[in-house]
Amino acid sequence: MANIYTTAREAAGEGPEEPEGSAPPTTAATDAPAPPLSPAAPGPTGPAWLGVLRHRAFRNVWLGAFGSSIGGWMEIVGVQWVMTVQTLSPEWVASGRPGATLMLGYLSAAQLGPTLALGLWGGLVADRVDRKRLLLVTQVVMMLIAAALLVASAAGRLTPAVMLVLSLLNGVAMAFNMPAWQVLTPRLVPREELTKAITLNGMQFNMARVIGPGLAGVLMAQFGATVLFAVNTLSFLGVLLAVSSTPPAPPPPREDVKAWSQIREALRFTFRQRGPLAIFTALVLFSALAAPLVRMLPVFVQEVYHAEERVYGLLLALMGAGAVVGGLSLKWLPPWYPKHHFIPLSVLGGGAMIAAFSVMDSVLGASVFIFLCGAFWLWAFNSCMAAMQLLVDDRMRGRVMAVCNTAVFGVMPLGAIAAGWISHIASGRADSGLGTQVGVGTLGAVLAAAGLVMLIWRTPEVDGLRPGDPGYERRPSLLAGITARAHRPGPQ
């Protein structure tokens, strides 16, 4: 899986950014650094009807990443389902060890926790080395870890401890993989098409979320989880081939400053300016408070709906379908509607849908709200990442995006563990269906409240506006936040 946990990948699903590519092909590759491409240079083009995909390098890596994302989603279904089944078993419960919801939280911490510790250094490395080589190394390492998961499952040794260890190793590789993907998209498409490219990456990820889990549920019910791990291991070949066919992607000219000084510069940009700080806050809140929905979904399926693998795959697929529809619907969003209105509106809607999903006790009701969750999820992460990419200079893009990744993926397991503890307190047992509903629903309600506050007290700097600019308006108002009337063309 190229970069599956987003939320973002899921955030980012976390998440927030999907796999991205590298520079368009040139002639012979040498050891000398190639001149960086201007984000405004369109590069190779194809038929106009292809849209952003007419750029050949972007198209090739997008297709490779699509196949890898399908495999990655199949692995997620397999790992989370196996972990849930094993930790809900009578033997496990009788042992007095942590219940299913807490174990799923610990699994999330193993997968995403390394980004909290290493994410900033991953961004620093991405700004200092050839991004193509970094991608190839991290992808090969992740493929080997996927192969180890396959072997353990085939040998009947896939215990919770093994899954935690392999997930931890995969998380370390991801900490360096994600910033390498993210800093390359602006090199593939013109600046004015960057938001469309990021949206298309999100759609790729979520189309894979439709195909991968749906197929995984059928295959796992028929053949077991091992076949899912085999598909994911093979899926790395497509993205490796696509990245290998591109030339070196050198970093910007290296500045003669210490590593920590460069990291401090990225931190100052993120936390000392209103626009980046508001985007960062929205990303962190959505990642921490929305991620438990996906993490705890196997417990909903078994303990609330009393269903099996196919329903789990179906619900994940419906969430992906909602994200795809949400991405397609963005073309109807008026071009004048600003991100500092749309981001908090998406956060508010996402929290409300998660809270509504949590009170459903039937598959039908849950299906409606998880579909809507997918749409708001894509809107929130896509808008946040696009806004941040447009605000930051290329010379520190890797470091700033690493700050975002570190926070987004670092807080996801905290949210999952918090949901597990709320579940435990609410019901007295961590694997209770009612307790899980309370835990996930509580966090969804908090997220909706946070979105409401951000919508009333907006931050125009998210769109690069400054005091005195047309449309710069900070007066608290829910109605103005929804309608964005200060930005509407024509008479106000």
Closest CA to 58 of 198, 258, 222: 198
Give residue 359's pLDDT: 94
* 248 pLDDT higher than 50: yes
Name residue, tokens 């509106």. Answer: 345
The 10s digit of each residue's pLDDT in 86-129 is 988 888 877 878 878 788 888 888 888 887 788 778 877 877 88
Name beta bridge partners: 11.
7
**Domains by residue range for the chain, with CATH:** 51-487 (1.20.1250.20)
The 10s digit of each residue's pLDDT in 139-150 is 999 999 999 999
Q: Which residue has the higher pLDDT, 19 or 377?
A: 377
The 10s digit of each residue's pLDDT in 326-335 is 888 988 899 8
* 193 pLDDT higher than 60: yes
**456 residue type, one letter:** I
Give residue 125's pLDDT: 83
Compute and round to an integer the Cα radius of gyration of the chain: 22
* 168 pLDDT higher than 80: yes
Percent of the chain at pLDDT exceeding 90: 37
* 448 pLDDT higher than 80: yes
Contact 104, 83 (CB under 8 A): yes
**Sign of the CA dihedral 45, 6, 301, 89?**
positive
Give residue 112's pLDDT: 80
Burial of 399 (0-12, 13-18, 19+ CB in 10 A): buried
* 181 pLDDT higher than 50: yes
| Measured distance CA(196)–CA(176) in Å, rounded | 25
Q: And the tokens for 325?
A: 């529809």
For range 339-354, the mean pLDDT:
96
Give residue 255's pLDDT: 60
* 231 pLDDT higher than 80: yes
Show Cβ contacts of residue 343 under 8 Å, excluding neighbours closer than 6 positions: 278, 279, 282, 380, 383, 384, 387, 454, 462
Give residue 466's pLDDT: 87
Give residue 31's pLDDT: 28
**104 residue type, one letter:** L
The pLDDT confidence band at residue 482, using thresholds 50, 70 and 90, is: very high
For range 274-301, the mean pLDDT:
92
Give residue 252's pLDDT: 66
How does DSSP assign 403-416, residue by residue?
HHHHHHHHHHHHHH
Closest CA to 298 of 307, 287, 288: 307
The vertex-465 CA angle with 330 and 345, nearest 5°, equals 40
The pLDDT confidence band at residue 17, using thresholds 50, 70 and 90, is: very low
Q: And the tokens for 288?
A: 């921490």
* 261 pLDDT higher than 70: yes
Mean pLDDT, rounded, of the chain = 82
pTM for the whole thing?
Answer: 0.74
Give residue 288's pLDDT: 92
Give residue 66's pLDDT: 92
Contact 209, 320 (CB under 8 A): yes
Give residue 34's pLDDT: 30
The 10s digit of each residue's pLDDT in 62-92 is 898 899 999 998 999 999 999 988 988 888 8
The 10s digit of each residue's pLDDT in 298-320 is 889 988 999 888 898 899 889 98
Q: And the tokens for 62?
A: 């997008």
Show Cβ contacts of residue 21 under 8 Å, excluding neighbours closer than 6 positions: 57, 58, 60, 61, 62, 65, 184, 185, 188, 242, 243, 246
* 132 pLDDT higher than 90: no
